[in-house]
Amino acid sequence: MQDSRLPFHLKFVFGLGDHSINVALVALTMVFPFYLTDVVEMRPWLAGLVPLVGRSVDAISDIWMGRLSDRTRWKAGRRRPYLLIGAIPFALSFAAIWSAPSFEGDVGQFAFYAGVYVLISISMTVCAIPYYSLMPDLTDSYDERTALVTFRSALSLMGTLLIAVAFRPLVAAFGGDAPAWAMTGAVFALWIVWPWLPIWWVTWERPPAEIHEPVPLVEYVSVITQNRNFARLLGLFALGRIAIDLPLALFLHYFTYVIGKPDYFDSMMFSFIMGTVLAMPLWLRFARGRDKAEVYRWACIGWMTTFLGLLTFQPEWPYAGMVAVSLLSGFGYAAADMMPWSMVADIADEDELACGERREGVFMGIFMFVRKIAGASGVFVGLAVLDVVGFQPNAQNRDAVLFTIRALTAGVPILFILGSLWIARTYTLGHTQHEAILGSLEEQRGERAVV
């Protein structure tokens, strides 16, 4: 079963997990910073510190959850039960962060939002790490994993689209005040909780390998990160995440203050996501038979060049020109976002061959940790820079502030993509190498079965 093509319904339902996770992550990355600076009126540097503190406190839980799911031995499975355990706390904490309570000072305000952010991150981790770790169990195929990640990425982008075009309009429909934000948060909390039961229903797990003697977690992680390909993958992924999350956090500020047309935001995000969705089947076809690092490099080149359009956007530009640049930007971003997730599943096979143990849970935990910390660090630095240059919410800002927003949204990400592109040149686990690993694993598993 693991070597055949997966059925469409399984790919689709499995992709709903990334949809749920991305609805929450995009809301927290794209809308939440604007909510804190312009609705709650928190200082920009404090608004940037909220996700950084929240994700840093949560960081160890990603790796710990990965190891826990690797070593769980329940009748119902070692990963799938956690999908149901984490779903309700995930939704409740997401709803709570939009509740907009009143506080006298900055300390209480910051403590509330950072604390709830930690709860969201931990409960999301309980669902996300076992979910991501299921992929190597579902298929061994190098290309079929890319197909599975393509479904995940497409449905993930539908989550991005949903937030981009529906979150703020729903707030406006509810009245636009603080209770409207709370009601909108509750609606989306219901949306992110429902996919986890169908995912649990349609997925399966392979029989777990023998558990080795327990090793201290720090030593365990240290050994795993000594895998050269994994270290390179973490590097290119971290730089890519900053290039994604930094502009995502500032797009609302960019269209509101630099372009002066906040109503453009929804349509530009729609164009970007449509470009990404249209590009995915093309990238999937292009990727078959090719090394994933090669596909990633081509995607980065295309994605990077379209940031030049954002860097030069002017308020008087024709609307159609802005839409075209947004659409083209999605074409490069599509593969740049999805390929690393397909690559990490192959790393788990390489690791099993070396150590005889399936440790994809810890690999995914470290990967999720890097996703959170890299993105949050980029957002914090970006918002802190805005605070330093004197950004004022709901007001006319100086030219220096507008230039800073433009540079952070479009110029700085180019530098991070260049760094990611350079690291990708050194990644060596390609199609041929993975086929050889699978052949050796079959022999190794057969020998263990005989013993």
- The mean pLDDT of 54-73, rounded to a whole number, is 79
Tell me the domain boundaries of the chain: 8-203+217-450
Q: How many CB atoms lie within 10 A of CB 227?
A: 18
**Computed over its alpha carbons, how large is the radius of gyration of the chain?**
22
CATH fold of 8-203+217-450: Growth Hormone; Chain: A; (1.20.1250)
Among 59-68, 356-365, 384-393, the range scoring the smallest mean pLDDT is 356-365
Tokens 């820079």 sit on residue: 385
For the record, the structure tokens of 206 come out as 């392979």
In the beta sheet, which residues pair with residue 77?
74
Give how far Cα 169 sits from Cα of 24, 54, 176, 262, 393, Å: 17, 27, 9, 12, 20
For the record, the structure tokens of 377 come out as 């660090």
pLDDT of residue 44: 87
Summarize pLDDT for 85-141 with one digit per residue, the tens.
Answer: 999 999 999 999 998 777 777 888 899 999 999 999 999 999 998 998 888 888 888
Summarize pLDDT for 374-387 with one digit per residue, the tens.
Answer: 888 888 888 899 98
- Phi/psi region, residue 41 (left: phi>0; alpha: psi -120 to 50; beta: rest), is left
Mean pLDDT, all residues of the chain: 86
User: Per-residue confidence at 19, pLDDT binned at 50, 70, 90?
Assistant: very high
Tokens 């005989």 sit on residue: 450
Summarize pLDDT for 423-444 with one digit per residue, the tens.
Answer: 999 999 988 888 888 888 877 7
Q: Where are the alpha helices (DSSP H) in 313-398?
A: 319-355, 360-389
Q: Where are the alpha helices (DSSP H) in 76-177?
A: 80-96, 106-133, 135-138, 142-162, 168-173
Among 248-252, 328-332, 363-367, 427-431, the range scoring the smallest mean pLDDT is 363-367
User: 11-44: string of b/e by CB count within 10 Å (b at 16+)?
Assistant: bebbbbbbbbbbbbbbbbbbbbbbbbbebbebbb
Sign of torsion over alpha carbons 23, 294, 428, 447: positive
For the record, the structure tokens of 117 come out as 């952010």
Among 89-93, 174-178, 341-345, the range scoring the smallest mean pLDDT is 341-345
